[in-house]
């Protein structure tokens, strides 16, 4: 998100952008003036002689040409090449081209009489011309104009570079000024917390900061102090910058917004200077909020690479930022908000209490939050009754808020391309497929044998996902090429908070279903399973190395959560490395044999499914259920939806009872007890908040690669 543009809004005192003089124009003007001086300047030598001496020289036919200026009573005479020694003294080889002599004459008439007499008596052949003569002002401009122009241009450029001259502050001398944009309560259009769907916990954290600024007495009377800083951490597209925009819209205090890269410049010392200038402006506007987006651009941990110079410009900027945030000079009233998706690489001194007192985690939205986000983005879109936000939320597991906004926009474009008056459910489904799998390529030519191989491969995935309890529920299977894949199977990943070993093994087995079906029913394997093999290899290694789920290497984890990695050495011996490889091979081989065993048991159903896929090119869970029967297990998503529906029904029944008997109210102790019970219920539904590091919810397709 563009942090400096705040959703198309302009800061209050943002002046109209002034004309900025380019430094290259100065070079061009200098070269033009030097060229003009070179071509207009006469570099020939000249001398001034008296009228009597001139008469003697003129009678001797020394001059080749004479020009008389009537208004100035001046004569300019060009000396012939062979007579230079008679006019000029010294070395005549350095006189240049066309040396001239200047004479002050009594008048043009007197000269005319002299010239006529000299022609008659001495037979001279000197050519004579008469001119009015130059004006004194013009002569002054010719002589001193280039110098005056150069001085004027220099003064103008110096004023521009120093930020003066009525222009926007910028240039060489203002390079150390902060680039932060200022937003306040008078900004025209604002983003508020109502525009931020989901993120209930994160909103509560930042709302408390805004509440403190609006009513500080509520907290200070109990001895509380406002947090000095809050760091928004989360994956890209989850709404970190949007939360900051909401803070800017809700807070009635000045809001400075800039990016971490704004501190980076090619000049030494500029970053630290901009940090000082930013906090100087913030202190003048206190109480205020300073938002730094992508702070990892300047807050990367120091001394991470010992081979490089540790005292570089970025570290100087970070040192100045640390000092300003919590140094000897306190910054009371200045609250720092920052956002990053790389909190693991930030310097520890930056993350400590006193600088960033809070770390607000903005995670990917769950099912209920995705529904709220869809409701926000569906407001400006014309939809019909076929569009169900709850259904769309189920079809987009692992999608961030930015991804959901992209889905809505892509669906509107697809509907407009089809000349529809409303955006329908099919448009949203096509938009999801377009974003996840790529553009559909029905023009790609495949032979009948290739289509049969792809159908058997994808039917193998679908068959195993139907008969494995913990496999992801099937959404649809297609053999239409899309993106780089010749075919794909869409699943609805279970958004688990924790993942067991059995669940991981079922996922491995279902992913190997395509390769197993090729070997069983075609008799030869192809390169189409390369994407599946890459996925299961990484997952099997994670089970052994990260999750400690190996029989020979139980309860061991070789993952460095500090983000510093292990460098060039591994944290285990060569023997352990060979054992890890053998355990990964054993896990994959066992699940491959298991996949082939299940396919043999349901061989007839697999063949029917592959044939339906060849006939229709796309199949849905209803087609699989028609062949294999109803799936005996309920997915976690359906379980969550049923729980939410039951909660809503209980709340509605409670509201009805209160409406019927408004005079009956529970005592205070009973109310407190009921709140504790409801909190206990919520905790029981979600006992652990540990996210499975190996789970990739958005990768919900098994593709047949085109290789």
What is the set of active-site residues? 458
**Nearest CA among 370, 348, 373, 372 for reference residue 359:** 348
Q: Is 632 helix (H, G, I), strand (E, B) or coil?
A: coil
Round to whole Å and give the CA distance between 175 and 161: 9
DSSP annotation of 225: -
What tokens appear for 53 in the block?
A: 């001496």
Q: Do you find a cis peptide bond into 453, omega within 30 degrees of 0?
A: no
What separation in angstroms does the CA of 486 have from each of 16, 478, 562?
54, 9, 40
Q: Which helix (H) or strand (E) holds 701?
A: strand 701-705
How is 549-588 classified by DSSP, letter by letter? B-SSSBT-----TTS---TTS-SS-HHHHHHHHHHHHHHH
The three-class DSSP label of residue 103 is strand
Greatest Cα pair distance in the chain: 142
Alpha-carbon separation of residue 544 from 205, 235, 538, 555, 588 (angstroms): 38, 26, 10, 9, 12
Q: How far apart are CA 238 and CA 460, in angstroms?
A: 35
CB 262 within 8 A of CB 274: yes
Q: Give the CA angle between residues 39, 44, 46 to the nearest 5°.
A: 135
Query: Nearest CA to 482 among 430, 520, 523, 534?
Result: 430
Whole-number Å distance between alpha carbons of 270 and 607: 69
Q: How far apart are CA 419 and CA 438, in angstroms?
A: 22
- The conformation of residue 247, written as its DSSP 8-state character, comes to H
Residue 293 β-bridge partners: 259, 339
Distance CA 583, CA 592 (A): 14
Would you say 588 and 540 are in contact if contact means Cβ atoms under 8 Å apart?
Answer: yes
C-beta separation of 59 from 122 below 8 A: yes
């Amino acid at each position: 998100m563009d942090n400096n543009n705040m959703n198309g809004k302009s800061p209050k005192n943002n002046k109209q952008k002034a004309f900025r003089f380019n430094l290259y124009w100065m070079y061009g003007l200098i070269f033009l003036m030097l060229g003009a001086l070179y071509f207009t300047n006469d570099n020939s030598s000249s001398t001034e002689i008296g009228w009597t001496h001139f008469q003697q020289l003129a009678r001797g036919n020394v001059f080749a040409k004479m020009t008389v200026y009537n208004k100035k009573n001046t004569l300019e005479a060009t000396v012939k090449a062979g007579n230079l020694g008679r006019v000029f003294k010294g070395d005549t080889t350095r006189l240049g081209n066309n040396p001239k002599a200047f004479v002050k004459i009594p008048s043009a008439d007197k000269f005319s009489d002299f010239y006529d007499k000299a022609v008659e008596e001495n037979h001279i052949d000197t050519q004579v011309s008469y001119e009015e003569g130059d004006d004194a002002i013009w002569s002054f401009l010719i002589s001193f104009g280039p110098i005056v122009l150069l001085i004027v241009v220099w003064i103008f450029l110096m004023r521009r570079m120093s930020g003066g001259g009525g222009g926007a502050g910028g240039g060489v001398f203002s390079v150390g000024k902060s680039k932060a944009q200022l937003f306040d309560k008078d900004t025209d259009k604002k983003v508020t917390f109502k525009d931020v769907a989901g993120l209930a916990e994160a909103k509560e954290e930042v709302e408390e900061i805004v509440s403190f600024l609006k009513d500080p007495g509520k907290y200070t009377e109990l001895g509380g102090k406002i947090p000095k800083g809050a760091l928004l951490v989360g994956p890209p597209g989850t709404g970190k910058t949007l939360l900051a925009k909401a803070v800017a819209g809700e807070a009635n205090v000045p809001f400075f917004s800039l990016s971490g890269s704004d501190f980076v410049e090619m000049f030494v010392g500029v970053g630290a200077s901009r940090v000082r200038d930013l906090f100087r402006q913030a202190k003048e506007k206190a109480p205020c909020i300073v938002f730094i987006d992508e702070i990892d651009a300047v807050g990367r941990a120091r001394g991470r690479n010992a081979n490089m110079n540790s005292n570089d410009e970025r570290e100087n900027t970070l040192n100045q930022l640390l000092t300003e945030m919590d140094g000897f000079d306190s910054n009371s009233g200045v609250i720092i908000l920052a956002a990053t998706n790389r909190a693991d690489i930030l310097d520890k001194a930056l993350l400590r209490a006193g600088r960033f007192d809070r770390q607000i985690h903005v995670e990917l939205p769950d099912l209920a939050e995705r529904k709220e986000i869809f409701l926000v983005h569906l407001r400006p879109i014309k939809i019909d009754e076929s569009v169900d936000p709850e259904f769309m939320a189920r079809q987009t597991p692992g999608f961030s808020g930015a991804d959901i906004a992209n889905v809505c926009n892509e669906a509107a474009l697809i509907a407009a391309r089809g000349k529809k008056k409303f955006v329908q459910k099919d448009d949203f489904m096509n938009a999801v497929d377009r974003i996840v799998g790529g553009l559909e390529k029905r023009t790609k030519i495949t032979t009948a044998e290739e289509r049969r191989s792809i159908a058997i491969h994808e039917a193998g995935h679908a068959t195993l996902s139907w008969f494995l309890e913990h496999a992801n529920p099937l959404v649809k299977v297609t053999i239409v090429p899309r993106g780089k894949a010749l075919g794909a199977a869409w699943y609805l990943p279970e958004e688990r908070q924790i993942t067991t070993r059995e669940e991981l093994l079922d996922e491995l087995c279902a992913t190997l279903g395509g390769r197993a079906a090729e070997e069983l029913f075609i008799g030869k394997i192809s390169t189409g399973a390369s994407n599946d093999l890459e996925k299961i290899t990484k997952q099997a290694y994670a089970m052994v190395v990260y999750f400690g789920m190996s029989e020979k290497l139980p309860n061991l984890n070789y993952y460095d959560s500090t983000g510093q990695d292990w460098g060039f050495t591994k944290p285990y011996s060569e023997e352990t490395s060979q054992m890890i490889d053998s355990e990964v091979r054993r896990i994959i081989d066992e699940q491959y044999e298991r996949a082939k065993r299940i396919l043999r048991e349901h061989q007839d159903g697999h063949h029917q499914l592959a044939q339906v896929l060849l006939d229709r090119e796309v199949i849905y869970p209803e087609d699989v259920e028609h062949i294999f029967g109803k799936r005996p297990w309920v997915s976690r998503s359906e379980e969550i939806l049923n729980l939410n529906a039951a909660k809503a029904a209980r709340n509605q029944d409670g509201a009805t009872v209160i409406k019927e008997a408004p005079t009956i109210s529970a005592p205070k102790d009973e109310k407190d007890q009921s709140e504790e019970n409801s909190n206990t219920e919520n905790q029981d539904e979600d006992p652990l908040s540990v996210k499975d590091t190996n789970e990739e919810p958005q990768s919900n397709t098994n593709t047949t690669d085109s290789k």
